[in-house]
Amino acid sequence: MVQAWYMDESDEDQRKEHRLDPNQPVSPEELQALGVNSYKLDADNYESDPELAKIRQDHNYTFTDIITIHKDTLPNYEQKLKIFYEEHLHLDDEIRYILEGSGYFDVRDKQDRWIRIAMQKGDMITLPAGIYHRFTLDENNYVKAMRLFVGEPVWTPYNRPADDFEARTKYLQLLELKA
Ligand SMILES: CSCCC(=O)/C(O)=C/O
Ligand SMILES: [Fe+2]
């Protein structure tokens, strides 16, 4: 299960844990109530993993590619990291599966507080369309992740405020239904 916790408000390095003191953990059930789902998979055998194949089939994730985020391999590394860490939403679900390395996805809860989700090798996460979120590497400065999508991928981030999109309105309705 992914580990998650409420963040402090310090401006220190984004790659640090930023836990509250005392720590305030967030359970997988609390994440699910925000529409965020996670799976633990066998990242060493992702090419032949029947569990991954079933998830892809069940959700119609027809597209996959792999992104490696490291200063020596990713073109425009610093600029991309900045874009990933700007608070944004997408008009489609964001699905990521960590094959190597680690990083943090931060999502907003219903009270607009940041929750930090620690993603490690074998963790898959689905963020619903319309949820405000961001991504950062952690202090290991390396992640290799599979990106999954239904159909032709669209990665466009819409930075906050992006409240007028239908995806945002629908997400807020989803939250109401789950309450
Ligand atoms: C671990 S994949 C990089 C982050 C990303 O693709 C994204 O869209 C963050 O919101
Ligand atoms: Fe995103």
Q: How far apart are CA 88 and CA 130, in angstroms?
A: 9
Per-residue confidence band for 179, with pLDDT thresholds at 50, 70 and 90: confident
Q: Is the CB of 85 under 6 A from ligand 1?
A: no
Best residue for ligand 1 mutational test, from 127, 147, 149 (most atoms within 8 Å of Cβ): 147
Q: What is the pLDDT of residue 53?
A: 98
Q: What is the pLDDT of residue 135?
A: 98
- Whole-number Å distance, alpha carbon 114 to ligand 2 midpoint, is 15
Sign of CA dihedral 35, 50, 136, 155: negative
Structure confidence by residue, pLDDT tens digits, 66-87: 999 999 999 999 999 999 999 9
CB atoms within 10 A of CB 32: 12
Q: Is 88 annotated as a binding residue?
A: yes
- Whole-number Å distance, alpha carbon 84 to ligand 1 midpoint, is 6
The CA–CA distances, whole Å, from 129 to 39, 80, 154 equal 18, 21, 12
Best residue for ligand 1 mutational test, from 84, 99, 136 (most atoms within 8 Å of Cβ): 84
Three-state DSSP class for residue 32: helix
Residue partners of 72: CB distance under 8 A and separation at least 6: none
Structure confidence by residue, pLDDT tens digits, 1-58: 899 999 999 999 999 999 999 999 999 999 999 999 999 999 999 999 999 999 999 9
Please identify, by atom number, the ligand 1 atom nearest to the C-alpha of residue 147.
Answer: 2
Please identify, by atom number, the ligand 1 atom nearest to the C-alpha of residue 133.
Answer: 10
Best residue for ligand 1 mutational test, from 87, 94, 105 (most atoms within 8 Å of Cβ): 94
Six token digits for residue 101: 């390395």
Structure confidence by residue, pLDDT tens digits, 85-125: 999 999 999 999 999 999 999 999 999 999 999 999 999 99
Report whether CATH 2.60.120.10 matches the domain 3-171. Answer: yes
Model pTM? 0.98
Q: Is the CB of 137 under 6 A from ligand 1?
A: no
Per-residue confidence band for 175, with pLDDT thresholds at 50, 70 and 90: very high
Three-state DSSP class for residue 159: strand
Q: How far apart are CA 58 and CA 80, in angstroms?
A: 31
Interface confidence, given as ipTM, is: 0.96
Six token digits for residue 87: 């608070």
Structure confidence by residue, pLDDT tens digits, 122-171: 999 999 999 999 999 999 999 999 999 999 999 999 999 999 999 999 99
Ligand with the closest atom to the CA of 135: 1
